[in-house]
Chain A
Amino acid sequence: MNFWLIRVLSILGAIAGCAGLQVVAGGQSDYIQRLLILAGLYVTLSVSLNLINGITGQFSIGHAAFYQVGAYMAGFCSVHYFKSSHLPPLVWLVVTMVVAAIAAAGAGFVVGLPSLRLRGDYLAIVTLGFGEIIRIQVQNTPALGGSYGMNIEPKVQSIALVWLLAVLCVAVCRNLLKTASGLPFLAVREDEVASSAMGVNVTRAKVTAFVLGSAFAGSAGALLASYEGFITPATFGMDVSFIILTMVVLGGTGSITGSIFAAVFLTLLPEYLRGLKDASGGPLTLTGGTVVAWMIGVIFAVAVLRHVYEDAKRSRLNRLCFGIGGVVVGLIVQAIASVMMNKIGALHDKIIMIGQLRMAIFAVTLIVLMLLRPQGVFAHHEFSWDWVGRLIGRRRRATV
């Protein structure tokens, strides 16, 4: 009784929270609303990819393909069946989300089954290839608008639904990990041979995770389609897969909390950069030389930091000093390199707007992370009230 009461209250709470977010966002600019939508979609995408890559230990690098399958499935259905369905647009959107999830799950099954039966990195190759095949196939299918894109009616912009899907995705993954049913997935990640000796059906666990993750990506695709009202194959290129992957790796493969934070952070970061102004009020630009100099600076800083991290014997203060030292070294190297690089004419004359550096920043983030903290920022830790309690408790003790 008590259990069901809490359950109903938490579901109502989630719905109220998401609806509240929509109400609050309603008063904001289109731009803020757009960011909220994108952040919500990326939370769903990264958490669902984390189920495949982090929790089950597979390596899918083409998650955008299932996002695309969902978006086009939903778009196609809307174009052909919305009018005759006589449903209110919001209800219709929920229907297309379900249809898109099923379509993406089906695609996930077809792609996953043959490649997941094998051990090794076949999945990476296959998912990468599948993403490109789907994109090019859509480009050449007139019924789906080809490379010009597809207009979608009705256009519904529901921040509430976007975040409800994100909450659902997080809840499903959390639930899985809280019950014994999640253990076979983790066991497969840890050791396939031992898992199967314990009676775990390894292929089944991998395919289940892959299909479930794909379904959520498909549902997110339906939301994107109806939000934009217009989709083209270019929306789902390899760079989108790469961004989702970066979010999972940055947050920590296996940590749902990490994926959520990384998704929000990496959605907002490029927008923040785009908004930066130079002294005269125009968008901030860098010369090619400065960009190269930054990369060299990062390399030096990482080299120093890595040296410090690998030596476990150092004291805390020692680590802190060397940590700051590493950053300073990086900045000095950057300053010197910047002067030298900008002497090279071609690098000096190449003007880059900082907003365009998005992919470069993602790539550098990934490399730095691999070198300094391969387990990701959150490693495999999860947010819990217990943890908050300890944090506050520690602070309290410190002030006494």
Chain B
Amino acid sequence: MSLLRLDSATIKFGGLVAVNSVSFELDKGDLFGLIGPNGAGKTTCFNLITGVYKPTSGVITFRGKSIGGTPSSKIAAHGIARTFQNIRLFRALSVLENVVVGGYLRHRTGLFSALAYLPSSINETNRLRAEAMELLKVVNLAHVADVRSADLSYGMQRRLEIARAMATQPELLLLDEPAAGMNPLEKEELLVMVKKIRDEHGMTVLLIEHDMRFVMNLCERIVVLDHGEEIAQGPPSAIRNDPKVIAAYLGEAV
């Protein structure tokens, strides 16, 4: 059984069909790429999967359960976490605190024990902080754990978003243009990091990316959107030579 399945997922904003009958399937352990020109509807696909929007029609199933239209705050508990194309960190909070918010989902003590500062709450806080620290090591941010997240460099902020999403311990990780704004060296590191997240942390990864080289090197399967429609699907070698894809990118080197 597939982990995530989009079946003719469609959403209209007024007259604009942002995502038009898109279908694809992810299996557990996939490293899946979602590509397409600007405005193709990639981010909107993420928003459909994570409950930011409700599909106008079509079905989205995760682990066999329909999740289309589930409120976004419940999606994380189902096991899907995401990053944002336009970075959305909790800017005034420290790097570590950002990750603890991701882990808060698994926090087991009640509000009262926090208000009374009971040992149970203190222990729980320490546990979440230790877990968050481990994740910061995965994304090479442990040395800046106490820095205000707004003060990080762009590349570091992107990595922090990944760590924060991982803190919810998702089965499926959605990364929206994780390499945007990174220099070649940082991209190289990110490539290794994403592979590691899949191989060592067992998370399935669905990622949107503009950098073709990055996607082709990383992903094992790719789906291509253009104007909200799915125009191709398959392994990188097939996508590279697909005439429709080449046309959509208007001769850009694919």
Contacts and interface: CB of A to CB of B under 8 A. Distances in A.
Interface stretch (A40-48, A146-154, A192-200, A318-326): A192-200
B93 A175 contact: no
Interface string B77-96: 10001101000111111000
Contacts of A179: 114, 117, 121-122, 124-125
A351 interface: no
Contacts of B91: 190-191
Contacts of B128: 180
Given A184-B101, A194-B84, A380-B92, A200 B122 contact: no
B111 A181 contact: yes
A184 B104 contact: yes
Interface in B22-76: 50, 52, 71-76
A3 B123 CA distance: 13
Contact of A183 (B50, B72, B93): B93
Interface in B115-134: 115-117, 119, 121-122, 124-125, 128-129
B137 to A, nearest CB: 19
B239 interface: no
A178 interface: yes
Nearest to A203: B73
Nearest to B82: A197
Contact of A181 (B72, B75, B92, B121): B121
Contacts of A171: 117
A329 to B, nearest CB: 34
Interface string A361-395: 00000000000000000001000000000000000
B204 interface: no
Nearest to A183: B101
Given A3-B119, A178-B117, A183-B93, A193 B52 contact: yes
Interface string B163-186: 011011000000000000000000
B88 A193 contact: yes
A278 to B, nearest CB: 47
A197 B92 contact: no
Nearest to B112: A181
B111 A199 contact: no
B109 interface: yes
B92 A182 contact: no
A191 B116 CA distance: 27
Given A197-B75, A198-B164, A191 B90 contact: yes
A184 B84 CA distance: 19
A195 B52 CA distance: 12
B102 interface: yes
Nearest to A204: B73
Contact of B117 (A175, A194, A197, A201): A175
Contacts of A208: 111
B58 to A, nearest CB: 21
Contact of B72 (A186, A190, A197): A197
A186 B92 contact: yes
Interface in A157-196: 171-172, 175-176, 178-184, 186-187, 189-191, 193-196
Nearest to A57: B92
A186 B90 contact: yes
B88 A183 contact: no
A202 interface: yes
B105 interface: yes
B125 A180 contact: yes
B100 A183 contact: yes
B217 to A, nearest CB: 27
Contact of B89 (A189, A191, A199, A380): A191
A180 B104 contact: yes
B46 to A, nearest CB: 10
B117 A200 contact: no
Nearest to B76: A199
B110 to A, nearest CB: 8
A199 B84 contact: no
Nearest to A175: B117
Contacts of B92: 186, 189-190, 254, 380
B117 A186 contact: no
Contacts of A196: 71-73
A254 B93 CA distance: 12
A186 B73 contact: no
B75 A172 contact: no
A175 B115 contact: yes
- Most chain B CB neighbours (cut-off 10 Å) among A183, A194, A199, A200: A199
A200 B89 CA distance: 14
Contacts of A191: 88-91
Contacts of A175: 114-117
Nearest to B117: A175
A208 B114 CA distance: 13
A180 B124 contact: yes
Nearest to B116: A175
Contacts of B82: 197
Contacts of A198: 76, 81, 101-102, 104-105, 164-165, 167-168
B97 interface: yes
Nearest to B122: A179
20 contacts: A171-B117, A175-B117, A180-B100, A180-B121, A180-B124, A181-B111, A181-B114, A183-B100, A186-B92, A189-B92, A190-B89, A191-B90, A196-B71, A197-B50, A197-B72, A197-B82, A197-B84, A198-B105, A199-B105, A200-B73
User: Which 8 residue pairs of A and B lie closest in terms of their CB atoms, listed nearest first?
Assistant: A199-B76, A181-B114, A190-B90, A194-B88, A196-B73, A199-B105, A175-B117, A180-B125
Interface of A: 3, 171-172, 175-176, 178-184, 186-187, 189-191, 193-202, 208, 254, 380
Given A193-B84, A194-B88, A198-B102, 10 more contacts: A175-B114, A180-B103, A194-B89, A195-B73, A196-B71, A197-B50, A198-B76, A198-B167, A199-B102, A202-B73
